[in-house]
Amino acid sequence: MNSKLKDQLRRLEETHINIEVRKSMEKLADILADEFFEISSSGKMFDKEECLRTGVVLTEMKIHNYEIHPLAPDVVLATYFLTDKTRNRNTLRSSIWKWIDGRWQLYFHQGTITDVQLSEVETSRFT
């Protein structure tokens, strides 16, 4: 696995969940691909336009067990476990990053609320 790519995508993922970035529609728009869509942890679907228009949740989150799974030379699936300190809940996450216009952009994202605790995934291969 390409550790440089994994580090780069993890940094982008961390940027995506950063509260300051999420407050800035310009910064958020730069990360999201034009075709971006999301299935939120509530089960609702959102596209880029709706995310930018209505805003995104502003919570303190931290990524754990970040892994990437290349699907094609310009498409990567990322999976990870996320702790949300503000809402006191955990989610399993997946993102698809695509190389578009000379940079990685977030194409798809999904979060699923889980009762699994961080201590349980720290030793697990799959988050």
Per domain, the residue ranges of the chain are 3-121
CATH code of the region 3-121:
3.10.450.50
CA 14 to each of CA 21, 37, 68: distance values in angstroms, whole numbers, following the listed order: 10, 18, 14
Summary mean pLDDT of the chain: 90
So what's the pLDDT on residue 127? 47
Q: Which residues pair with 68 in a beta bridge?
A: 78
Residue-wise pLDDT tens digits, 99-115: 999 999 999 999 999 99
For residue 23, is pLDDT > 90? no
So what's the pLDDT on residue 92? 95
So what's the pLDDT on residue 124? 64
Top-confidence residue, 36 or 60: 36
Helix (H, G, I), strand (E, B) or coil at 91: strand
